[in-house]
A and B are shown apart, each in its own frame.
Chain A
Amino acid sequence: MSDAPDSPLLEIDNLNIGFRSRAGLAPAVRGVSLHVEKGETVALVGESGSGKSVTALSILQLLADSAEASGSIRYRGRELMNAGKRTMRDVRGDDISMIFQEPMTALNPLHTIERQIAESLTLHRGVRGRDARARVLELMHKVGIREPESRLGAYPHQLSGGQRQRVMIAMALANGPDLLVADEPTTALDVTVQAQILTLLDELKADFGMGMLFITHDLGIVRRFANRTYVMQGGEVVESGPTWKIFASPEHPYTQRLLSAEPTGTPDPIPAPDTAPVVVGENVRVWFPIRKGFLRKTVGHVKAVDDISLSIRPGETVGVVGESGSGKTTLGLALLRLIRSEGRIAFLGNELQGLSQRQLRPFRRDMQVVFQDPYGSLSPRMSIAQIIDEGLSVHKIGDRKGDRRAVIADALTEVGLEPDMMDRYPHEFSGGQRQRISIARAMALKPDLVVLDEPTSALDMSVQVQIVDLLRDLQKRYNLAYMFISHDLKVVRAMAHRVIVMRQGVVVEQGEGDAVFDNPQTEYARALMSAAFRIEAESA
């Protein structure tokens, strides 16, 4: 390579990116400058919409056609901005590799693992046949896929999320790149798997002597892995410097806010601990039959929820934690009788099992649910007033239209929104505001029990804090019983009085919040806690 010895591995100078739209050019990145040295990990942090992913894509010139970019991107002194297709093809996957966020959609479902890893080997190195297979096996071994020989012919759907992400990393490393761009590589993974992947990346970086540009919104990861950090807000870099310095003494107010934006505190004590529970579930089971053969004979069951008993008292929050697929959401839906289940469910002393949907309707008023996705849980075709009014009209709250609009206005005020927003449509609101609207829809009915299904998971950290505060406040005011489902242990710790740890449909551990978090008894709970809180433990 004929590069100047002192030029950095990657240097971005005054990068501006905008997207053409009907209304003109919408800027996404404004005047970003950064550099990555050999063997260094550089983190790019910021909340959603801050322009960090767009910056990453622009390095490999992978932006959509509607984007307009200016500035300079130099790899070892070579200009990549507006470089020809041929130059970029040489660079991509050979000198610079990229790992994407979603391992399921980033792999081709119709090709085997071997073929996908070997693809870039063949393209850039011309390695084929037996040599390629040997190299693929070596890579798979390196990224920690057990028994790589038996996995060569596997298709992506036969692998778990963590294994798929390992395959992605193997693909990225195939040609020994000098720079690895990792765009939220662990966001879609469970906490225990996240920790494994991050350790793996760190080891590989040392082995290969790569530079790494790490894009994430998770500050815990940054603190643990990055040498230097750039903080982005609204398309601009607001602060940069060595990671330890940024964490120790953040200067920009946004960085300070970001660092303090972690759900903290503990739930308020339950006002009357000895009152009768709002909801009781005994031996709740949700089994989905597996049918096989011509006669569709049931050969077994997927036990999504298996023999779980729980009760929630007024004013109490029961946190349900577990990794994806552990049956948390299914349990919540079963308690509300939104899916079929077996076992006893009693709500305010009334047996719910065996009631028809029509008979259940009066109870619906008192048990509500808030879903994870603030974009999917509001009908895009209805105004905010209509969305909240739907429940009111079913339960005949406020007979006249005018009364109902007053109730709706109250509900919006209660969740911290302006009443005159009610004639607008969901798409005009941000994620956090939409989640407030979802909460208002549930709260307008003045329920006794609210099932909160990952209500903060799709939100930015600083918004999460606000929602947690709002939920705690509402609980105190109305003595609500919450079932709080989440995979994010920090949020659960801030919310829950009691915690249930679930794995593959069964309860692994349950108990008082502090006891479970500070002194987990089972090995699985310990692994979960250490993966989630390790960063704190190490920095303490």
Chain B
Amino acid sequence: MRCSNRPRIKPGAGNYAGWPLMFNLDPIQRRRLENFKSNRRAFWSLWIFLALFAISLLADLIANDKPLLIKYNGEFYAPIAKFYPETTFGGDFETEADYTDPFIHELIREEGDGWMIWPLIPYSFDTIVYEAQPSPSPPGTRNWLGTDDQARDVTARLIHGFRTSVAFGLILTFLSSIIGIFAGAIQGYFGGWTDLIFQRVIEIWSATPLLYVVLIIASIITPSFWMLLGILLLLTWTSLVGVVRAEFLRARNFEYVQAARALGVSNGKIMFRHLLPNAMVATLTMLPFVLTGAIGSLAMLDFLGFGLPPGSASLGELTLQGQNNLQAPWLGITGFLAFAIMLSLLVFIFEGIRDAFDPRKTFR
């Protein structure tokens, strides 16, 4: 689009570094990318984290108590995606086939002359492993990380729980930074009374104790994933307001902002085009705290038993089980390592991003 017009002025003008179009970043962005790459720890942390997150996104294909594919009487079935009553495979009930039942296995293998392809871990996060007695049972070849005190496979719960934690953290961070940046931008740009009133409201609002609010709500209803997200969002959006406000307050009288005003550019455009990029650096330094805080809050609520509904996969709940079953150290250790690795990776990544945006930082 933009490039198609370039030859009108002078052939080859622009895109001067000879980069392919898709890498046509401006030099500042390119320098930041280089800086980030040259920080080996952050760079590798990013890839490890992305790999782990990608695996956890496929949790249903990796850890599930339904086979990926069944061949039965010459036909293919994919129970992971579709509901099949037991009668499909010659059973007695109209309910969904229980694929963990040896009886169903027999039906498919013997009578249907078929086979089943199972996921790597043949348990979902809520599958009760009846063979694991007594529960919690220690790690072994069947349950790699053992089972918890309700005889559920810890590996499966870990993968699903990691997904929940990260998704919760990312969504909460994303939403609360959007609201926070918006609120901070308005306050900083307009200043005066807008700023004064907004600030007092935020002070009162952020003095609300998170735990009590959740306790009260949890005593009335069982909060779901999205409801917890909403409650935490109400209380965490204020964390970014301060820095964004300060940046806007500082930059709103910069000469290039004045110049834009003199050109007749509207307030919204000035805020978005000239001031927001300034605020992004400060925001990025705060984001890791918001993200780890979000993951931590969910873990805390789960640990205390006021979080996600009972039975759902949750790292906080795993840690609680570790505390309740000190005789089964694999529970506590797994929970601890999961949090330690996840939070460390995130902190390393954001540290790298922050440094990459720092114009004064020089890299060897």
Q: Which A positions have Cβ atoms within 8 angstroms of B?
A: 21-22, 333, 336, 338, 357-358, 360-362, 364-365, 367-369, 371-373, 376-383, 390-391, 394-395, 401-402, 405-406, 409, 419-420, 422-425, 438, 441, 445
Q: Interface 1/0s, chain B 1-20, versus A by CB < 8 A? A: 11001101110011110000
Contact A376 B254 (CB under 8 A): yes
Are A423 and B259 in contact (CB-based, < 8 A)?
A: no
Chain A to chain B contacts (Cβ below 8 Å), 23 pairs: A22-B363, A333-B258, A336-B262, A338-B258, A364-B264, A365-B264, A368-B263, A371-B255, A376-B255, A379-B256, A379-B273, A381-B28, A382-B273, A390-B273, A391-B265, A394-B263, A401-B2, A405-B5, A406-B8, A419-B10, A420-B9, A423-B16, A441-B259
Residue from A365, A378, A380, A420 within 8 A of B10 (CB atoms): A420
Known contacts A395-B264, A420-B10, A445-B263; is A380 also within 8 Å of B258 by CB? no
Q: Nearest chain-A residue to B264 (Cβ)?
A: A364
Contact B264 A360 (CB under 8 A): yes
Are B259 and A369 in touch, CB under 8 angstroms?
A: yes
Q: Tell me, yes or no, whether B219 is within 8 Å of chain A by CB.
A: no
Partner of B5, one of A376, A401, A419: A401
- Can you name the residue of chain A whose Cβ is closest to the Cβ of B265? A394
Query: Would you call A377 and B255 a contact (CB within 8 A)?
Result: yes
Report B's interface with A, CB cutoff 8 A: 1-2, 5-6, 8-10, 13-16, 26-28, 254-256, 258-267, 273-274, 277, 362-363
Which residue on B lies nearest to A362, using beta carbons?
Answer: B264
The answer to whether B258 and A390 have CB atoms under 8 Å apart is no
A490 to B8, CA, bound (A): 43
Docked Cα-Cα span, A423 to B6, in Å, equals 10
- Which residue of chain A has its CB nearest to the CB of B1? A401
Q: How far is the CB of B18 from chain A (nearest CB, A)?
A: 13
Q: Which residues of B contact A383 (CB under 8 A)?
A: 26
List of 4 A-B pairs having minimum Cβ-Cβ separation, nearest first: A364-B264, A423-B14, A391-B263, A377-B255
Is the CB–CB distance between A422 and B263 below 8 Å? no
For B10, give the chain A residue with the smallest CB separation: A420
**B28→A423 contact, CB < 8 A:** no
Residues of B within 8 Å of A372, CB to CB, are: 255
Which residues of A are found within 8 Å of B6, using beta-carbon distances? 405
CA distance A181 to B27 in the complex (A): 40
| Residues of chain A contacted by B260 (CB below 8 angstroms) | 390
**How far does the Cβ of A284 sit from chain B's closest Cβ, in whole Å?**
17
The answer to whether A390 and B263 touch across the interface, beta carbons within 8 angstroms, is yes
Give A395's nearest chain B residue, CB to CB.
B264
Query: A371 near B259 (CB under 8 angstroms)?
Result: yes
A357-B260 Cα distance, complex, nearest whole Å: 13
In the complex the two chains form, what is the Cα distance from A379 to B278 in whole Å?
10
Q: Which residues of the partner chain B approach A424 to less than 8 Å between Cβ atoms? A: 16
Expressed in whole angstroms, the Cα–Cα distance for A105 and B121 within the complex equals 67
Q: CA A106 – CA B176 in complex, angstroms?
A: 43
B256, B261, B265, B267 pick with most chain A CB within 10 angstroms: B256
CA of A537 to CA of B262, assembled, Å? 41
Give the docked Cα–Cα distance between A380 and B1 (Å). Answer: 23
A338-B255 in contact given A420-B13, A422-B13 (Cβ < 8 Å):
no
Residues of B within 8 A of A360 (CB): 264
Name, among B8, B28, B259, B273, the residue most crowded by chain A CB atoms within 10 Å (CB to CB): B259
Identify A394's interface contact among B10, B27, B264, B362, CB under 8 A: B264
- Structural contact, B265 and A390, CB atoms closer than 8 A: yes
Contact partner, A406, options B9, B15, B261, Cβ 8 Å: B9
CA distance A474 to B262 in the complex (A): 20
Chain B hits for A333, CB < 8 A: 258
Whether the pair B362, A369 counts as a contact (CB closer than 8 A) is no
Q: How far is the CA of A367 from the CA of B266 in the complex (A)?
A: 16
Do residues A376 and B256 form an inter-chain contact, with CB atoms below 8 A? Answer: yes
- A358, A368, A409: the one contacting B262 at CB < 8 Å is A368
Q: What residues of chain B lie closer than 8 Å to A368, measured between beta carbons?
A: 262-263
Give B10 Cβ to nearest chain A Cβ, in Å.
Answer: 5
Residue contact B256 to A378, C-beta cutoff 8 Å? yes
Taking CB atoms, residues of chain A closer than 8 Å to B1 are: 401
B28 to chain A: which residues have CB within 8 Å? 380-381, 425
CA distance A422 to B277 in the complex (A): 21
User: With contacts A419-B9, A420-B9, A423-B14 known, is A369 near B258, CB below 8 A?
Assistant: yes
